[in-house]
Amino acid sequence: MTTTTAPVGGPTVPQERRVVTEIPGPLSKEMWERKRAAVADGVGAVLPVFVSRAGGGIVEDVDGNALIDLGSGIAVTSVGNSAEAVVRRAGEQLGRFTHTCAMVTPYEGYVEVCEELARLTPGEHAKKSALFNSGAEAVENAVKIARYHTRRQAVVVFEHGYHGRTNLTMALTAKNMPYKHGFGPFAPEIHRVPVAYPYRWPTGPEHCAEEAAALAIERIVKEVGAENTAAILIEPLLGEGGFIEPAPGFLPRLAEFAREHGIVFIADEIQSGFCRTGSWFACDHEGVVPDLITTAKGIAGGLPLAAVTGRAEIMDSVHGGGLGGTYGGNPVACAAALGAIETMRGMDLNARARRIEEVMKPRLRGMAERFEVIGEVRGRGAMLAVELVRPGGTEPNPEATAAVVRHCHANGVLVLSCGTYGNVLRFLPPLVIGEDLLSEALDVLEEAFAGL
């Protein structure tokens, strides 16, 4: 199928749920067969509908179905699809030049993005950045920088963590299927320690932070050696592993331990950054100031851009030419990032994220009281989740999770699942979504639970 005229998206998309065919519809099914013939099977899809336009809180498919978007392309389109400032700035840049390679002939946009990152990321110290294409690239380069700076090799990561799909970032990631299975051998000198997971901590959430921090530190000291450890790498709010909020006090204790032993503390804010949790970064909620912070996803309104930002003395420790990449900090992506940041500031998307939490959390908690399959409601801002369990205990219930997802998709609500056990529903709506759409999506979600 070829489309002769492109439908207008962005803020002009009607903000209403509309189901006019079964989902996926006939045109999406036709395109899916084309995909099967041309695209590697390893490239899957959560929902096999093909998008024609999107904007606000709506994704519209080629069959004319309009779905309420509670995924934002996995936290990428936080400012909405085709946000005005993103389109305007990226379009202007497209008319000037598309690429020169920042390592050959630099341009102002790259510098402007780095200046914004220095202003926005936690801490008042001198900071510098390097730009890349994807979250996995950012994490990989953060590890490179930490190892170079410390002249150490070991990297400590955490249970349930997710950091990417390259060889190194697969080693850093906890979950086997589908991310690691069959792709080894992996990079060496990666050491995994417990995370403070309050819902599943054996002695209860009230003891979680202190005990988990003590256990993690003991493992580092006894099994790795603090003097051998280049970096401690953690998501301040764990993403793919289940939207786990580490118990309060856990992150500050780890950061303190890292400072005491000259270990680079790296915050992976690729999913949780840029207003997603109701603050510019999830670290802000406990006043944690990382040495290095990785960003991507929400940074550029849907264009591929990522960054490592950190203490100037750490970032500058790498020799000239040791960091970079042909497309890293592409000028069009940089322009889009400046447009996204303009939108975040202008619309106060931190406040919008907090308002989304105010709308969604009471409804989700009400469902938890009504439906025993919901074990916990958690998250911050517009990064929320429910963990599903078998009634009467805490055994993970991935079957119920899959059933709820199917019901929502069939009824025009795009939701995502996650979690090491495949039993967590995660909600990542665009921060510009209307409250009426949120309420309607929650109605569909409640129907899904009632039908289990």
Q: Which two tokens stand for residue 355?
A: 């308002």
The 10s digit of each residue's pLDDT in 66-78 is 999 999 999 999 9
What proportion of the chain, given as a percentage, has pLDDT over 70? 98
pLDDT per residue as tens digits for the range 421-434: 999 999 999 999 99
89, 339 contact by CB (below 8 A):
yes
Q: Exposed/middle/buried for 275, CB within 10 Å: 0-12, 13-18, 19+? A: buried
CA distances from 218 to 193, 222, 227, 255, 281 (A): 9, 6, 13, 15, 28
Residue 401 pLDDT greater than 80, yes or no: yes
Task: Give the count of beta carbons closer than 10 Å to the beta carbon of residue 270.
Answer: 28
Residue range 96-113, pLDDT digits in tens: 999 999 999 999 999 999
Q: Output the pTM of the full model.
A: 0.96
Q: How many residues does the chain have?
A: 452
Q: What is the pLDDT of residues 23-43, one digit of tens each?
A: 999 999 999 999 999 999 999
Measured between alpha carbons, how far is residue 183 from residues 41, 189, 409 in Å? Answer: 16, 17, 31
**Banded model confidence at residue 7, pLDDT cuts 50, 70, 90:** low
What was the pLDDT predicted at 5? Answer: 55
- 262-276 pLDDT, tens digit per residue, is 999 999 999 999 999
Q: For residue 11, what pLDDT is reported?
A: 86
Average pLDDT, the chain: 97
Encode burial over 111-147: b for 16+ CB neighbours within 10 A, e otherwise: eebbebbbebbbbeeebbbbbbbbbbbbbbbbbbbbb
Q: Is the pLDDT of residue 1 over 60?
A: no
**Residue 8, pLDDT score:** 81
pLDDT at 4: 45
Averaged pLDDT for residues 169-196? 96
Q: Indicate the pLDDT class of residue 3, thresholds 50, 70 and 90.
A: very low
